[in-house]
Chains A and B, each alone.
Chain A
Amino acid sequence: MSLADFVPFLPEIFLAVAGLAVLLLGIPMGSRGSRPIIAISIGALAATAVLIFLVGRPTAGPQLILGDMLVIDQFAVFFKVLVLIASALALLMASGYLDRAGYSSGEFAALILFADLGMFVMVSGANLASLYVGLELMALSVYVLVGYFKLEVKSNEGAVKYFVLGAASSAVLLYGISLIYGTTGSLDLETIRSSLTGVPHQNVLLMLGIVLVAFGMLFKVAAVPFHVWTPDAYEGAPTPVTAFISVAPKAVAFAMFLRLFAGTFASEVDHWWMLLWIASAATMIYGNVAALTQDNVKRMLAYSSIAHAGYALMGLVAASDNGTWAVLMYMGVYTFMNLGAFGFVILLESKGYAGERIEDFAGLARRHPAAAAGMLIFMLGLAGIPPTAGFMGKLYLWAATVEAGYVVLAVISVIMSAVSLYYYFRSVVQMYLKDGEAEGEAAAQMLNDRWTGTAIAVCAVLTLVIGLWPAPLVGWAKSGLSALGF
């Protein structure tokens, strides 16, 4: 290992240093509100993106670095850029929110940057040790972010539930990893993969290891039956954190899921497809049905994000190249739609409280036509209606699932998408058909926060543009297939 080996690792090193810098800067700059700190953090994220472009991307095929611990490939770059964009948008949304709630921003921004570092290690891990350590760094930062509003009971409750169940799932994942290490004698993904192919494996221990790893990953993507933490953590967390954790950790968990199951354990597909098939179907059905009765928009979006994990799992079940890039594409699309929808929950304020109830959206179309139109775009997108990106994402997933022969699963997801129309359109009906002032209450107001507004506008434009012209994102997602073992 020479110093030159560290050059492709520079983006991660920079992120760690930036996290420390922001943490320290938070002390003298705390009195000036959150905006300077947030601006510096977003600058650091942009600089990281530049570093990835300069040194952190593969020049000729996947490249293993630093003792084969990490792999530099297009697959990792796709998710790294996605994580950077999602965190920058979440930070933009958090800036005004932190000031209004009266919480400090230094630790907040530093935790987001450290979580990003963990996600970077997770998406480029080529060894079960580095994958696990990255996962833990991401998870630990996120637990703290969920409980960041420590004076609010809901925030505490969500954080504790998330932490306890998350720690249990990490233990299950670790036990699975130890069984895989015990049977294959290696933690290196490429070594495990080559030891699995060729030999017909009926090793019970290895099967149990793979199943336990699948359980751990299903927890991280919030799939049924490992979803119980999701509604409470999403509802309790500060809304910008909810926006962040519903997209970035989910996307990187899918990245790790894909690297392990579509890459390393691909030859064992006969043993695990059934498990993921059931999880996918159960997640779609439960997430969509449970969302029907939610009156709290954050909770509704939490159940909807469970359902979306179920859709994306279809791509994994398909276990094909088309399935893999469809998941990448879907995660890219879902990130912008979900961030945008949560952005409106942040901006909507009713009588000094956050406008989280579905009735708070009443009459929005008349008072804030632009905002209502934006919310309409995100709801259409999440439901998967044609002119938006959500439709394109689902279309490729369906195509891959049917192509792989899982027609029943595709049919379930189509039916469930139709069911989801009901709850997504409850807020649309409130915005366009109800008059918020008729009930004798003060109507909810949109806060005028330019930073959050910008973030939402970016999400809305991307949701529409990707829906109308998906070719660039599709091409980019397909380039991720050159990854290790695919």
Chain B
Amino acid sequence: MDFLIANFAEILFYCLAFLTVASAIGVVAFKSPVHAALSLLFCFVMVAALFLLRHAELLAAVQVLVYGGGIMVLFLFVIMLVNVKDLKLEQVFLSGIAPLAVIGGVLLGVLIAFGLVFGVLASGHGDGTALRSVDGDEIGNTEAIGAVLYTKYLVPFEVVSVVLLVAMIAAIVFGRRSAGLEGAGGGGGKTS
């Protein structure tokens, strides 16, 4: 019991980490797209819990709101709109890239393991002060992120807003039916 209390944070971390990885594997392992999507949702929530464990409250909230809320809804929309039961499995395509995917996955795993072994384990992990302090003044996590985002990182933040705008333009350009001259009376584009 004493062991449990003394190492509560670690035990909680390993439980959450196990559930995160298990649900991530579930995303690719489940045959039904709805189950896979639910598994993904569970994975997002677990990551949010991991953020909470590191005292990154804002990140945890954003993780739940943006990923668990917004992005999951889009995933589910697509699954509902496309009649998944009628889709055939593309056996040839998948078996063709399977070796490549395995090699890529193993490479990625090695890279991340490398980073963990040489980085985190060698230097130990911090106490999370950096997450809630700006220029040495300790304030809350949310205030710290806000202060840094709207002062030092203002330029990247504003440029990201243009990135999102471009993404919207991209969706419209690719989503509309013709070449974009229908409003102008130009009709569709040449199909040749």
Contact = CB atoms under 8 A, between A and B. Distances in A.
To the question of whether A and B form a pair in one complex, the answer is: yes
Interface stretch (A64-72, A437-445, A450-458): A64-72
A66 B155 contact: yes
Nearest to B150: A1
A30 B181 contact: yes
B138 to A, nearest CB: 18
Interface in A419-473: none
Contact of B189 (A101, A127, A143): A101
B190 A204 contact: no
B174 interface: yes
A121 interface: yes
Given A117-B162, A134-B159, A136-B163, A103 B152 contact: no
Contacts of B187: 102
Interface in B132-183: 151-156, 159-160, 162-163, 165-167, 169-170, 172-174, 179-181, 183
B182 to A, nearest CB: 9
Q: Mostly helix, strand, loop or mixed at chain B's interface?
A: helix
B188 A102 contact: yes
Nearest to B130: A185
Nearest to B111: A175
A16 B161 CA distance: 11
Given A30-B184, A103-B181, A175-B111, A121 B155 contact: yes
A15 to B, nearest CB: 10
Interface residues of B, number: 36
B184 A137 contact: no
B159 A137 contact: yes
A144 B169 contact: yes
A149 interface: yes
B115 interface: yes
A352 interface: yes
B30 interface: no
B185 interface: yes
A27 interface: yes
Contact of B154 (A67, A179, A212): A67
A150 B174 CA distance: 7
A183 interface: yes
Contact of A31 (B170, B186, B189): B186
B119 interface: yes
